[in-house]
Amino acid sequence: MRPSTWLPVLEQLASGIMISGSEFGSSLGVSRAAVWQRVNYIKSLGVAVEATNLGYQLKYPVYLPNIKHIQASFTMEVNLLPEVTSTNTLVLESRTERCLMTLYQSQGRGRRGRPWVGAPGYALMFSVGSWLESGLQEFSGLSVDIGVAICNFLNTQGIPVCLKWPNDLWIGEAKLAGILTEMQGDQDRTFVVVGFGMNLEKPHGIDSSVACFHDHSESPWCDNQTIGLVTAILGTITKYTTSSSEDRMCRYREVSLLERREVAVDDGGKKILGIAKGIDEFGRLLILTDRGVKYVSAGDVSVRPV
């Protein structure tokens, strides 16, 4: 179903009030049967809609970004496409400095090509692209540093989130958000794309084991928080090459979920057990094993606390 068909339904439901099928049909210029089909489609994407004889109502609030408000805070282009394949893919292909937001990704990607699912209005999903006048070799630890910056921002919003190296944000033992940093370039210039996805509410009928923002905040997510988050990401990207590795390693330890914990490293089917001991200047995770220190690169393994 096209976004132009289901988005007007979600926008009306976003008011939080009960809306009858006849009211829906009248405002949209469609039959009650067509309204029922569109509501069912939204539900299939993970949005919890309660349907009674009186009408339809959202069970939980949704976040629909006000792009004009967000755009006013940035010189780069900010836009919203209600449904896309992947925001990271589109920004990478455009190779332009922009922030692309969406409500639903049909082919959302996480680390190592894993799918990432977010229900419309229940997840914050965007990608930011930025050009930098430095070569690829200068940004080996950038993904981890961005994770640290996002953790710090969310902590200021009262969310007790930690970074599970290299790019997952957890509350306790449940995942709240994920980051996907991709880069293209050469020795002189680099295009960096940072994709971010965070659960604002638990997707209905998809995965109840995840953490979500609204379980830890008395107020719903708002545009000003989106602005603050994008600003934190852009600031980290532009300042990365001028910050010291010692400072980055220290800031990582302050928010690390794994620090001093026993972890299991899945390295191509080979499992390694050890104690996490921070990161090095390249953003690699240091694991203290029985055979000494192992340096773990982000693209090689999956790491979980034991």
How much of the chain is in helix, strand and coil states, percent to nearest 5?
35, 30, 35
Shared domain for 88 and 217, answered yes or no, is yes
Q: What is the CATH number of the domain that holds 269?
A: 2.30.30.100
- Considering its fold, how many domains does the chain have in total? 3
Tokens of 96: 């332009």
Query: Burial, 53: exposed, middle or buried (Cβ in 10 Å; 0-12, 13-18, 19+)?
Result: exposed
269 and 185 in one domain? no
- 125/120 Cα distance (integer angstroms): 9
Q: 263 and 121 in one domain?
A: no
Please report, in tens digits, the pLDDT of each residue of the chain (306 residues total): 788 888 999 999 998 899 998 988 898 899 989 989 999 999 888 898 998 888 999 998 999 999 999 999 999 999 999 999 899 999 999 999 999 999 998 765 555 555 556 789 999 999 999 999 888 888 889 999 999 999 999 999 999 999 999 889 999 989 999 999 999 987 789 999 999 999 999 876 655 678 999 999 989 999 999 999 999 999 999 999 888 999 999 999 999 999 999 988 876 677 778 999 999 999 999 999 998 998 888 655 566 665
Task: Please give the residue range of the domain that contains residue 286.
Answer: 259-305
**Same domain (yes/no): 233, 92:** yes
DSSP class of 231: H
**Statement to judge: residues 194 and 214 lie in one domain:** yes
Same domain assignment for residues 182 and 211 = yes
CATH of residue 182's domain is: 3.30.930.10
Q: Do 103 and 216 lie in a common domain?
A: yes
